[in-house]
Each structure stands twice: as C-alpha cells, then as structure tokens.
Amino acid sequence: MNSDIPIGSPLRTEAIINRYFIHAKRKLGQNFLVDHDAIMGIVHAANIKPGDQVIEIGPGIGSLTEQLLLAGAKVFAYEVDDSLPEILRNELPSKINGEPLNKRFKLLLKDVLKANFKDDLAGFFDFTRPIKVAANLPYYITTPIIFALNQADLQFANVTLMMQKEVADRLQAKPGNKEYGPLTIAVQIEMNVNLAFTVKNRSFIPRPRVDSSVVVLTPLKNKPDVGDIKHFNWVVKMCFAQRRKTLNNNLKSLLPDKDKREQLITSLNVDPRVRPEELTISQFIQIARAIPSQR
Ligand code: SAM
C-alpha cells in the first residue's frame, strides 16, 4: 500500500505490522527503525545523491530503503526473511521519480554472509563507479558483516552502518583503549572511521537492549602495506589471544624462540611487559613481518 506517510514513521510501521501480522524475529536481529530523523540521518551521513548505487543489508519492511530510493539511489538489498519481499513490493512506492520500482530496487533473498558481491550485483550495478553501503545491521552478525564488506572486492565510496554502540566504540578505538582489538585494526588498516550520530533504543520496534551508533567508513587513500592480509589479521588475532597477558606471552606460540621474541620486542621500542592493546598499527605490521607465514 503506497502512502504519503513514510514507512519508518511509528504510525505506518505499526499499521504494516498489524496488516501482515508481523512478529519481529529476534533471532534475525529484527528491530525496525521508527525514527524518521535517524533514517534521514543515515541517508545524509552516506551522502546519498541521485544515481548512487547502494547495497542495503536487511531492508526489513523498507523504512531506510524507501528514503534511499527517494533520495535518488539505486538499491540492491540482501534479506533472509522470506516473508518480507511481498511486504516490500506492496509498501515501497511503485514508481520513483516516474521510474518503476524494479528499475531502481533489487532484492536478493540471501544471507549476506554468503554473498558473492561481484556475481550478485552484476547486471544491476556498474562496477566502474563506486558503490555505497547503507544499512541498519542485524546486530547478531555485525562483526562478520564488517569483515565480509572489508574483504569484498568492490570499490566503495563509503560504508554507512547502524550498529550497537559497543561495536562502534571498538571500530573507533585508539591504542591504549580497552575496546582496541583485532576488529579495530582490521578496519582501520582499510578505512577511516567516523561516528555520525548515536540513536537511543526507543527509536526501534521492538526496542533492542542497547543503544546504537551510525558509523561512516571511508576507504583510506593510502593504505598501510600490511603484506599478506590474511597473515596480518591472523597475527593480530594471536597477539590478542589473551589480552590481559603481555605481548611476550601472546607471542610464544607464534615465535617459540625466546631470543627471537625478545629481539622483536626490543625492535618495537616498547616496554618489555607491553600488552597487545598498547601497540600501534605500525607496530603490528612490524610484528607480522617478523612472524613466519603459516601457509
Ligand atoms: N532496515 C530495516 C530497518 O531499519 O527498520 C530493518 C533492520 S533490522 C535491524 C535487520 C534486518 O536484517 C532484518 O530485516 C533481518 O531480517 C535482516 N537480516 C538478518 N540476518 C540477515 C542476513 N544474514 N542477511 C541479510 N539480512 C539479514
């Protein structure tokens, strides 16, 4: 049912929930955003312009999708809940700026963690132009989705994601913070991380237990040379295996030779009892170079 009231207004969302007997599925992280300012905040943070190509993860009943389309974007969405395509077809505007919906919107019923982005998007997106991601993520898989996007072989203009505040804090963390860890480093070697705004849990139906943040990730122009990325991420993970222990302790399995380990730690110019969370990204790069590859 097309309507002048945005899908993401509490009134319209309630009406849609009642019309289709929707029971939000917690196991799929279904928390529908009913805060028009927050929805428009995502559209603005992603700097959506007419003609933009946008991947949306989890359109739900279409509150963000609708505003992305009205801002002029072409939207490709991944969704796993098979009850939603029909609702989206009925509730999204059938025409956008005179164009039929199917020219501007494509829905793939597929777990985004199984996405093969290049194959899935072929024919709908033009790979010679950058792509944006805009999503209110299903929170139970935020971290794997960020890793999947980070490893996608796509040219991103920006990746704008709503996530639980705790994960956003990890993405932005600096060395010395308790939130600083493998996720921080995996993202910060590829992307600039900017917090756009935070959203209270009352902005969702049903309310999640935690507050949320919208984060904009923008690819770095000059990425640090980390060598083999899989090796680098693995070394970082191993360095944080026991984050309360010293780096020296964590390095034992990677570099069993005590002298070599001490030599490496000395070369980092740090206290010998340094903990992994105190190291900069450049120091992790130095460590990864000194550790033999497992492949
Ligand atoms: N975009 C809507 C909004 O803002 O109201 C819904 C967001 S809700 C937090 C997350 C959405 O992700 C749900 O529609 C859920 O069904 C979908 N989802 C959950 N797991 C998914 C997966 N593995 N792949 C794709 N979508 C998924």
4 lies in a domain?
A: no
The atom number, within ligand 1, closest to the CA of 78 reads 25
Looking at the structure, do residues 106 and 245 belong to the same domain, yes or no?
Answer: no
The structure tokens listed for 115 are: 């996405």
Of 185, 219, 253, which one is at a domain's C-terminal end? 219
Give the long-range contacts of residues 282-286, CB within 8 A, separation 24 or more.
Answer: 282/224, 284/185, 284/232, 284/235, 284/236, 284/239, 285/224, 285/225, 285/226, 285/227, 285/232
Ligand-binding site membership of 192 (annotated): no
Nearest CA owner, ligand 1 atom 8 = 30
Looking at the structure, do residues 142 and 233 belong to the same domain, yes or no?
Answer: no
1 lies in a domain?
A: no
Give the three-state DSSP class for 135: strand
Task: Count how many domains the chain has.
Answer: 2
With contact defined as beta carbons under 8 Å apart, do 251 and 242 qualify? no
At residue 36's C-alpha, the angle toward residues 34 and 40, to 5°, is: 130
- Give all strands (DSSP E) within 110-255, no chain letters: 131-136, 156-164, 191-199, 204-205, 212-219
With contact defined as beta carbons under 8 Å apart, do 105 and 65 qualify? yes
Pocket test for ligand 1, best of 28, 33, 43, 67 (most atoms within 8 A of CB): 28
Using the mean position of ligand 1's atoms as its centre, give its distance from the Cα of residue 174 in Å.
30
Of 161, 184, 219, which one is at a domain's C-terminal end? 219
Looking at the structure, do residues 251 and 186 belong to the same domain, yes or no?
Answer: no
At residue 20, the pLDDT reads 97
Looking at the structure, do residues 256 and 190 belong to the same domain, yes or no?
Answer: no
Evaluate: CB of 32 within 6 angstroms of ligand 1. yes
Using the mean position of ligand 1's atoms as its centre, give its distance from the Cα of residue 139 in Å.
9
- Report the CATH number at residue 260: 1.10.8.100
**What backbone torsions phi and psi does residue 96 show, to the nearest 5 degrees?**
-125, 120
The string of pLDDT tens digits covering residues 215-273 is: 999 999 999 999 999 999 999 999 999 988 999 999 999 999 999 999 999 999 999 89
42 lies in a domain?
A: yes
At residue 295, the pLDDT reads 62
> pLDDT > 70: what percent of the chain?
99
Average pLDDT, the chain: 95
2 lies in a domain?
A: no
Interface pTM (ipTM) of the complex?
0.99
Looking at the structure, do residues 166 and 62 belong to the same domain, yes or no?
Answer: yes
The string of pLDDT tens digits covering residues 81-94 is: 999 999 999 999 99
Is the pLDDT assigned to residue 293 strictly greater than 90?
Answer: no
200 lies in a domain?
A: yes
Is the overall model pTM greater than 0.90, yes or no? yes
Enclosing domain of residue 78? 10-219
Of 157, 184, 219, which one is at a domain's C-terminal end? 219
Nearest CA owner, ligand 1 atom 20 = 28
Ligand-binding site membership of 111 (annotated): yes
Looking at the structure, do residues 215 and 237 belong to the same domain, yes or no?
Answer: no
- Report the CATH number at residue 27: 3.40.50.150
Using the mean position of ligand 1's atoms as its centre, give its distance from the Cα of residue 167 in Å.
17
The string of pLDDT tens digits covering residues 18-70 is: 999 999 999 999 999 999 999 999 999 999 999 999 999 999 999 999 999 99
The residue type at 154 = L
